[in-house]
């Protein structure tokens, strides 16, 4: 399944969004325009604007404010990706050189700040104060999730509850924001807004669990990332958390010793992957992801049938069936 199948009911709306999004990135400063043009040529999946538009259609119908909501979400998402590449010292993004690799860290950080400010100004200009509340909460949660992961990674102190707190804040917050902000643009019914927010939160958690599974089982040619990358970065995710909790004390001690050693962790990452697989970590993570898929589908169940609802249901199932 590809995202173009999911976007079919909103093809013309997505085309209009892309034009409006392009306009939000323009500047009289030549360097900003040059970097913005490079970002636009990368043509990401734009899954989050898609969720904004689909949710708005389900909630009552797409209108002018929906496009602003979608632009705000995509500006925030793009800014965070640029900042993430600086933090992670990543040289590549979507198969192309990252902004920090081409223009260095200072330009990348300032460009991320510029995109975020453009989104905030767009909302203020049109008095979209509710959008600002929702997006500000997402920024707070994403920052908290990143910092909590850094804190816990240093001490290797990540249990299942902490893992879900991290992925809920880091990943699910912006996906739930996309669904909620789309609903807010189209309906004043708080019940409708909360159902779509809950749907997005569950999608985001399922999506991240699948991402973590692919780090163990995926092919780097498909994912664009090296298999075992999380292990090498000392990120303990659900497959390994479950395996460690269900291994005998001696084996657990051996694996933790490998994780603590920078050299051994890199050399023995394949053995750690095998350990997680043999101790049921992958199977447990797959089962858990499917539970969140069902939660997302349940949150949508009360809405009447429509092409946009069917497309969002496809997206929900795509979250755990994708291989990239």
177-197, pLDDT tens digit by residue?
Answer: 999 999 999 999 999 999 999
CA distance 26 to 33: 6
CA distance 113 to 33: 14
Average pLDDT estimate for 134-143: 96
Of 106, 231, 214, give the one whose Cα is nearest residue 158.
231
| pLDDT above 60 (res 176) | yes
Q: What does the pLDDT read at residue 301? A: 97
Q: What is the mean pLDDT of the chain?
A: 92
CATH number of the domain encompassing residue 273:
1.10.600.10
| pTM of model > 0.85 | yes
Q: What percentage of the chain exceeds 70 in pLDDT?
A: 96
| pLDDT above 50 (res 209) | yes
Residue 92 host element (H or E): strand 92-93
| pLDDT above 80 (res 324) | no
31-85, pLDDT tens digit by residue?
Answer: 999 999 999 988 778 999 999 999 999 999 999 999 999 999 999 999 999 999 9
Distances (CA, A) of 151 to 55, 87, 138: 35, 15, 20
| pLDDT above 50 (res 220) | no
Distances (CA, A) of 56 to 74, 165, 312: 16, 27, 11
> How many structural domains are present in the chain?
1
Q: Range of 254's domain?
A: 3-321
CA distance 143 to 181: 19
258-303, pLDDT tens digit by residue?
Answer: 888 878 777 788 899 999 999 999 999 999 999 999 999 999 999 9
| pLDDT above 50 (res 221) | no
Q: What does the pLDDT read at residue 3? A: 78
Which one is predicted more confidently, 153 or 65?
Answer: 65
Residue 236 host element (H or E): none
Which one is predicted more confidently, 227 or 205?
Answer: 205
| pLDDT above 90 (res 94) | no
Let me know: does 173 contact 285? Beta carbons within 8 Å.
no
């Amino acid at each position: 399944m590809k995202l173009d199948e999911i976007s079919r009911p909103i093809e013309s709306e997505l085309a209009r969004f892309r034009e409006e999004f392009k306009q939000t990135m323009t500047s009289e400063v030549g360097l900003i325009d040059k970097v913005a043009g490079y970002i636009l040529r990368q043509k990401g999946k734009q899954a989050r604007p898609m969720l904004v538009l689909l949710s708005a259609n389900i909630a009552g119908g797409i209108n002018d404010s929906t496009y602003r909501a979608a632009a705000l979400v995509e500006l925030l998402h793009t800014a965070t990706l640029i900042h993430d590449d600086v933090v992670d010292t990543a040289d590549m993004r979507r198969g192309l050189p990252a902004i920090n690799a081409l223009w260095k860290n200072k330009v990348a950080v300032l460009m991320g700040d510029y995109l975020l400010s453009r989104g905030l100004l767009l909302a203020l200009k049109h008095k979209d104060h509710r959008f600002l509340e929702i997006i500000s909460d997402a920024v707070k949660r994403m920052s908290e999730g990143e910092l909590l992961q850094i804190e816990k990674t240093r001490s290797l102190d990540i249990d299942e509850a902490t893992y879900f707190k991290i992925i809920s804040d880091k990943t699910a917050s912006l996906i739930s924001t996309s669904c909620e902000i789309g609903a807010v643009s189209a309906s004043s019914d708080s019940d409708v807004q909360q159902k779509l927010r809950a749907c997005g939160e569950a999608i985001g958690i399922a999506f991240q669990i699948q991402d973590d599974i692919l780090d163990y089982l995926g092919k780097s040619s498909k994912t664009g990332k090296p298999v075992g990358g999380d292990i090498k970065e000392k990120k303990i995710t659900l497959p390994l958390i479950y395996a460690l909790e269900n291994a005998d004390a001696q084996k657990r001690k051996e694996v933790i010793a490998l994780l603590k050693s920078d050299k051994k962790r890199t050399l023995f990452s394949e053995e750690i992957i095998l350990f997680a697989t043999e101790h049921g970590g992958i199977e447990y993570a797959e089962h858990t992801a499917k539970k969140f898929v069902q939660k997302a589908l349940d949150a949508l169940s009360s809405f009447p049938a429509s092409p946009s609802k069917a497309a969002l249901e496809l997206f929900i199932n795509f979250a755990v069936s994708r291989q990239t």
